[in-house]
Structure 1
Amino acid sequence: MKTYHRNFIYESNDFENLCKFIIQENSIRKEFFDWHIGRIVDWKYNLSNFKRHFPDNFNKAAHLWFDYFHNLIGFVISEEFNTEFSILLRKEYLHLYPELLNWVKTEWGNKYDKLVTQVIENQTEYIKFLEDAGYKRNNCIEMTRVFNTRSYKDFTIEDSSVSFQSMFQNGDYEEQANLRTNAWPKPYSREIDLQIREYTRRSPIYNPNFDFVLVNNEGRHISGCEAFIDYENNTAEIERVCTHSDFYNKGYAQMVLKACMRKLYEHNINTAFIGGSYDKTIHLYGKLGHVAEYARFFFELQR
């Protein structure tokens, strides 16, 4: 069947089609995923990357492939508008991977000193295509742990000096910003930072009932996480996990994560995913009681 491709069009329904594509693909791949719904929504709505402030940049950061009947069958996307990219393809069109890979080299390769992409460890066909194209695996690795939320249905926080709250209950987004800015400093003014965070909450999947914080008796947000839910596949990806540096090494991150999974179970979300690429986070998530895990390998092409 004939195919064609073009740049992402910000003013069209392309973004909605990317979201639908990811949800549909994850309904097939129950045990793992390339991207979860939260990641693609953040690509558009999380303005922490300054390049996302300009719609025209999106047109240059994603390229879409369609079949003869104008159905989306795959795409290339740069999450941070930089040297790193991802290729997502419907299983039936696996043979097109080299074509998409060559398009990246031709169109984006002259912009950077190197190109970097990632694949899941069991995507052996993709790895073969990458190696044939001259990509070499580097030392980076990301581990994703899979959790059965039922395992946390009886979890309780026994520390009376803290309470687990959703942002629907708490509502203090300025204090939450203090926590997240401590974890991930940004080169913005306080006013701009708060405006960016407010805009991020306008995303179609933000739900304050699944945006969690651990609060001490003084009202400080000391740890937090956020769950992005794919209701059609009954899964959640837990992101934005952080603890304020004043409260490190007290077990608060484990508390907030286990309490989050208990809440997911109470809302009939059976499976949760948590990924990490730093030694500290890989170690932390590995202690929570996962039922499965898989690695993402990074491959690099030098100019």
Structure 2
Amino acid sequence: MKTYHRNFIYESNDFENLCKFIVQYNSLKKEFFVWHIGRIVDWKYNLSNFKRHFPDNYNKAAHLWFDYFHNLIGFVISEEFDNEFTIILKEQYSYLYPELLDWVKTEWENKYDKLVTSALQTDTEYIKFLEDAGYKRSNCLEMTRVFRTSLYKDYTIEDSSVFFQSMFENCNYEEQANLRTNAWSKSYSHEIDMQIKEYTRQSPIYNAKFDFVLVNNDGKHISGCEAFIDYENNTAEIERVCTHSDYYNRGYAQMVLKACMKRLYENNIMTAFIGGSYDKTIHLYGKLGHVSEYARYFYELQTIS
């Protein structure tokens, strides 16, 4: 069947089509997804990367492939508008993977010293395509852990000095911003940071009932996480896991994550995923009681800038 491709168009329904594509794709891939719905929504709504403030950058950071009947069959996307990209294709069109790789090389090789992408350990066909195109596996690794939320249905926090809340209950976004700023430094003003976070909460999948914090008796947010729900597939991806530096190494991250999974179970979300690419986070998530795991390997292609 004939196919065609074009740049993402910000002023169109392309974003909605990408979201629908991810949900449908994940219904087939089950646990071995490439991106969860939260990641594609963050790509548009999380303005912490200033490149996202300019619509024209989106048109350059994603390229879409369609079949003859104008159905979306796959795409190339750069999450941070840089040299790292992801390719997602419907399984029946996997043979087009080299074509998408060639497009990336042709369009982006003159912009960067190297191109970076990734492949799940289960995607042996894609890994072969990458190696044939000259990509070399790097030392970077991302590990995704799979959790059954029912295992945490009886979890209770025994530390009386802290309590678990959703932001629907807590409502103190100023204090939450202080926690996240401590965890992830920023180079812009507090006022801009608050405006960015407010805009992020306008995303179509943000739900304050699944945005969690661990609060001490003084009202300070000491740890937190956020769950993005894919209701069609009955799954959640847990992101934005952080603990204030004043409270490191006290088990608070484990507390908030386990309490989060209990709340997911209470809301009939049966499966949760947590991914990490740093040694510390990989170790932390590995202690929570996952039922399975899989790795994402990173591959690099040196280019001539």
Please give the TM-score of this superposition, normalised by the length of structure 2.
Answer: 0.99
Partner SS for 1:225: strand
Residue 103 of structure 1: how far off its partner (Å): 0.1
Q: C-alpha offsets along residues 221-270 of structure 1, whole Å, 9 cap, x if unaligned?
A: 00000000000000000000000000000000000000000000000000
Supply the distance in 2 between the matched residues of 1:40 and 1:133 (Cα, whole angstroms).
27
Deviations 1:46-85 (A, max 9, x none): 0000100000100000000000000000000000000100
Supply the distance in 2 between the matched residues of 1:29 and 1:270 (Cα, whole angstroms). Answer: 16
Residue 32 (structure 1) shift: 1.4
Which residue type is aligned with residue 171 of structure 1?
C
Unaligned residue ranges in structure 1 (runs of 5+): none
AA in 2 matched with 1:97: Y
What SS does structure 2 have at the residue aligned with 1:260? helix
Q: Which residue of 1 aligns with 2:9?
A: 9
Map residues 78-93 of structure 1 onto 2, 5 A cutoff. 78-93=78-93
Q: Which amino acid in 1 is paired with 2:300?
A: E
In structure 1, what is the Cα distance between the partners aligned to 2:261 and 2:208?
A: 15
Counterpart mapping for 1:31-180 below 5 A: 31-180=31-180
2:269 is equivalent to residue 266 of structure 1: no
3-state SS, counterpart of residue 129 of structure 1: helix
Q: How many Å separate the matches in 2 of 1:211 and 1:79?
A: 22
- Distance in 1, Cα, partners of 2:149 & 2:89: 29
Q: How does 1:146-295 map to 2 (within 5 A)?
A: 146-295=146-295
Using the TM superposition, give the Cα deviation of residue 31 of structure 1 relative to its aligned residue in structure 2, in angstroms.
2.3
Q: How far 1:22 moved relative to its partner?
A: 0.3
Q: Displacement of 1:88 after TM fit? A: 0.3
Cα separation, 2, equivalents of 1:42 and 1:278: 20
Tell me what 1:19 maps to.
Answer: 19
Counterpart of 1:187 in 2: which secondary structure?
A: coil
Q: Aligned residue pairs: how many?
A: 303
Distance across 2 between alignment mates of 1:252 and 1:210: 18
**SS, match of residue 110 in structure 2:** helix
Counterpart Cα distance in 2 of 1:102 and 1:35: 22
2:288 match: secondary structure: coil
- Which residue type is aligned with residue 58 of structure 2? F
Calculate the aligned-residue CA RMSD, in Å: 0.3
What is the aligned-residue identity percentage? 83
Residues in 1 aligned to 2:42 and 2:178: alpha-carbon distance in whole angstroms: 20
SS, match of residue 176 in structure 2: helix
Aligned-residue offset at 1:30: 1.1
Match of 2:62, as an amino acid?
Answer: A
Q: Could you tell me which amino acid in structure 2 is paired with residue 250 of structure 1?
A: R
Q: Distance in 1 between matches of 2:43 and 2:116?
A: 18
* AA aligned opposite 2:17: N
Distance 1:67 1:29 in 2: 21
Q: Distance in 2 between matches of 1:218 and 1:185?
A: 24
Note the residue ranges of structure 2 that are not aligned, 5 or more in a row: none
Supply the distance in 2 between the matched residues of 1:200 and 1:84 (Cα, whole angstroms).
22
